[in-house]
Amino acid sequence: MHASGAGVETATFGAGCFWGVEAAFRQVQGVRTSAVGFMGGSLDHPTYEDVCYRDTGHAEVVEVTFDPDVVSYEQLLEVFWANHDPTTLNRQGPDIGEQYRSAIFVRGAGQAAAAASSKAALERSGRFRRPIVTEIVPAGPFYRAEEYHQQYLEKRGLSTCHI
Protein backbone atom coordinates (compact mmCIF):
# COMPACT_ATOMS: atom_id res chain seq x y z
CA MET A 1 0.00 0.00 0.00
CA HIS A 2 3.03 2.30 0.29
CA ALA A 3 6.59 2.57 -0.80
CA SER A 4 9.21 2.14 1.88
CA GLY A 5 10.31 5.51 3.21
CA ALA A 6 7.26 7.19 1.68
CA GLY A 7 6.87 9.51 4.66
CA VAL A 8 3.43 9.93 6.13
CA GLU A 9 -0.10 9.06 5.16
CA THR A 10 -3.41 10.40 6.43
CA ALA A 11 -6.40 8.52 7.83
CA THR A 12 -9.73 9.90 9.06
CA PHE A 13 -12.21 8.15 11.35
CA GLY A 14 -15.55 9.05 12.88
CA ALA A 15 -16.34 7.07 16.02
CA GLY A 16 -18.50 9.22 18.25
CA CYS A 17 -17.07 11.75 20.69
CA PHE A 18 -13.84 12.83 19.03
CA TRP A 19 -12.04 13.55 22.30
CA GLY A 20 -11.67 9.92 23.37
CA VAL A 21 -11.02 8.67 19.86
CA GLU A 22 -8.18 11.16 19.42
CA ALA A 23 -6.66 10.09 22.74
CA ALA A 24 -6.71 6.44 21.62
CA PHE A 25 -4.95 7.18 18.32
CA ARG A 26 -2.34 9.40 19.98
CA GLN A 27 -1.15 6.38 21.97
CA VAL A 28 -0.32 4.40 18.81
CA GLN A 29 3.35 4.23 17.91
CA GLY A 30 3.75 5.57 14.38
CA VAL A 31 0.97 8.14 14.64
CA ARG A 32 2.75 11.44 14.00
CA THR A 33 -0.04 13.98 14.45
CA SER A 34 -3.72 14.05 15.25
CA ALA A 35 -6.44 16.63 14.98
CA VAL A 36 -10.14 16.59 15.74
CA GLY A 37 -12.62 18.17 13.41
CA PHE A 38 -15.51 17.59 11.08
CA MET A 39 -16.01 15.84 7.74
CA GLY A 40 -18.75 14.47 5.57
CA GLY A 41 -21.23 17.32 5.57
CA SER A 42 -22.35 20.17 3.39
CA LEU A 43 -21.40 23.27 5.41
CA ASP A 44 -18.01 24.82 4.68
CA HIS A 45 -15.91 25.67 7.75
CA PRO A 46 -18.42 24.54 10.39
CA THR A 47 -17.95 25.36 14.06
CA TYR A 48 -18.57 22.92 16.88
CA GLU A 49 -21.82 24.78 17.58
CA ASP A 50 -22.87 24.37 13.94
CA VAL A 51 -22.27 20.63 14.01
CA CYS A 52 -24.04 20.17 17.36
CA TYR A 53 -27.07 22.35 16.74
CA ARG A 54 -27.58 22.59 12.97
CA ASP A 55 -28.18 20.03 10.24
CA THR A 56 -24.71 20.17 8.68
CA GLY A 57 -24.31 16.49 7.84
CA HIS A 58 -20.81 16.51 9.34
CA ALA A 59 -19.41 13.81 11.61
CA GLU A 60 -17.01 14.44 14.45
CA VAL A 61 -13.76 12.92 13.20
CA VAL A 62 -10.15 12.36 14.08
CA GLU A 63 -7.61 12.88 11.35
CA VAL A 64 -4.25 11.23 11.95
CA THR A 65 -1.05 11.35 10.02
CA PHE A 66 1.00 8.22 10.43
CA ASP A 67 4.23 6.62 9.30
CA PRO A 68 3.25 3.50 7.35
CA ASP A 69 6.70 2.03 8.00
CA VAL A 70 5.85 1.97 11.72
CA VAL A 71 2.08 1.40 11.82
CA SER A 72 -0.12 0.11 9.01
CA TYR A 73 -3.49 1.48 7.99
CA GLU A 74 -4.90 -1.94 8.91
CA GLN A 75 -3.57 -1.53 12.46
CA LEU A 76 -5.25 1.88 12.67
CA LEU A 77 -8.49 0.22 11.59
CA GLU A 78 -8.12 -2.17 14.54
CA VAL A 79 -7.81 0.82 16.89
CA PHE A 80 -10.91 2.35 15.28
CA TRP A 81 -13.01 -0.80 15.74
CA ALA A 82 -11.80 -1.28 19.34
CA ASN A 83 -12.73 2.22 20.46
CA HIS A 84 -16.43 2.45 19.68
CA ASP A 85 -19.58 0.44 19.02
CA PRO A 86 -19.99 0.21 15.23
CA THR A 87 -23.50 -1.22 15.54
CA THR A 88 -25.27 1.89 16.84
CA LEU A 89 -26.61 4.19 14.16
CA ASN A 90 -25.84 7.86 14.80
CA ARG A 91 -25.03 7.19 18.43
CA GLN A 92 -22.16 6.37 20.77
CA GLY A 93 -23.09 5.87 24.41
CA PRO A 94 -25.08 8.88 25.61
CA ASP A 95 -24.15 10.94 22.51
CA ILE A 96 -26.96 10.89 19.96
CA GLY A 97 -26.98 12.52 16.54
CA GLU A 98 -25.65 12.17 13.02
CA GLN A 99 -22.38 13.83 14.06
CA TYR A 100 -21.60 10.76 16.22
CA ARG A 101 -21.94 8.24 13.40
CA SER A 102 -19.44 5.49 12.77
CA ALA A 103 -17.54 6.30 9.59
CA ILE A 104 -14.29 5.60 7.83
CA PHE A 105 -13.34 8.37 5.41
CA VAL A 106 -10.98 6.78 2.89
CA ARG A 107 -8.33 8.19 0.62
CA GLY A 108 -7.77 6.10 -2.48
CA ALA A 109 -8.44 2.53 -3.49
CA GLY A 110 -5.96 1.05 -1.01
CA GLN A 111 -7.67 2.52 2.03
CA ALA A 112 -11.11 1.72 0.62
CA ALA A 113 -10.20 -1.94 0.08
CA ALA A 114 -8.55 -2.26 3.50
CA ALA A 115 -11.54 -0.65 5.24
CA ALA A 116 -14.05 -2.89 3.42
CA SER A 117 -11.99 -6.01 4.14
CA SER A 118 -11.63 -5.07 7.80
CA LYS A 119 -15.36 -4.41 8.16
CA ALA A 120 -16.24 -7.70 6.44
CA ALA A 121 -13.84 -9.64 8.69
CA LEU A 122 -15.38 -8.04 11.77
CA GLU A 123 -18.89 -8.90 10.55
CA ARG A 124 -17.83 -12.54 10.01
CA SER A 125 -16.16 -12.73 13.43
CA GLY A 126 -19.44 -12.76 15.34
CA ARG A 127 -18.06 -10.20 17.82
CA PHE A 128 -21.25 -8.15 17.46
CA ARG A 129 -24.78 -9.53 17.53
CA ARG A 130 -26.17 -6.55 15.66
CA PRO A 131 -25.20 -5.47 12.13
CA ILE A 132 -22.27 -3.10 11.72
CA VAL A 133 -23.54 0.26 10.47
CA THR A 134 -20.17 1.91 9.82
CA GLU A 135 -20.12 3.82 6.55
CA ILE A 136 -17.06 3.73 4.32
CA VAL A 137 -17.00 6.86 2.18
CA PRO A 138 -14.44 8.96 0.30
CA ALA A 139 -12.75 11.59 2.42
CA GLY A 140 -13.81 15.14 1.75
CA PRO A 141 -12.54 18.40 3.18
CA PHE A 142 -11.39 18.19 6.80
CA TYR A 143 -12.44 21.13 8.95
CA ARG A 144 -10.33 21.40 12.08
CA ALA A 145 -12.34 21.97 15.26
CA GLU A 146 -11.63 24.90 17.54
CA GLU A 147 -8.34 24.73 19.43
CA TYR A 148 -9.92 23.98 22.81
CA HIS A 149 -11.10 20.62 21.38
CA GLN A 150 -7.61 19.54 20.27
CA GLN A 151 -6.08 16.98 22.65
CA TYR A 152 -8.97 17.82 24.95
CA LEU A 153 -8.60 14.89 27.33
CA GLU A 154 -4.82 15.17 27.56
CA LYS A 155 -5.15 18.82 28.52
CA ARG A 156 -7.44 17.76 31.36
CA GLY A 157 -5.46 14.72 32.50
CA LEU A 158 -8.23 12.31 31.45
CA SER A 159 -8.12 9.21 29.29
CA THR A 160 -11.72 8.55 28.20
CA CYS A 161 -14.53 10.66 26.84
CA HIS A 162 -17.31 9.90 29.32
CA ILE A 163 -16.24 9.84 32.96
- Please list the active-site residues: 17
Contact assessment for residue 39 and residue 59, using Cβ atoms and an 8 Å cutoff: yes
Instruction: Give the type of residue at 80.
Output: F
Residue 160 CB coordination number (10 Å): 12
Contact assessment for residue 21 and residue 150, using Cβ atoms and an 8 Å cutoff: no
As a whole number of angstroms, the distance between CA 145 and CA 31 comes to 19
Strand order of the β-sheet with 102-106 is 135-138, 102-106, 9-15, 59-66, 31-39, 143-144
Chain centroid, CA 81 distance in Å? 10
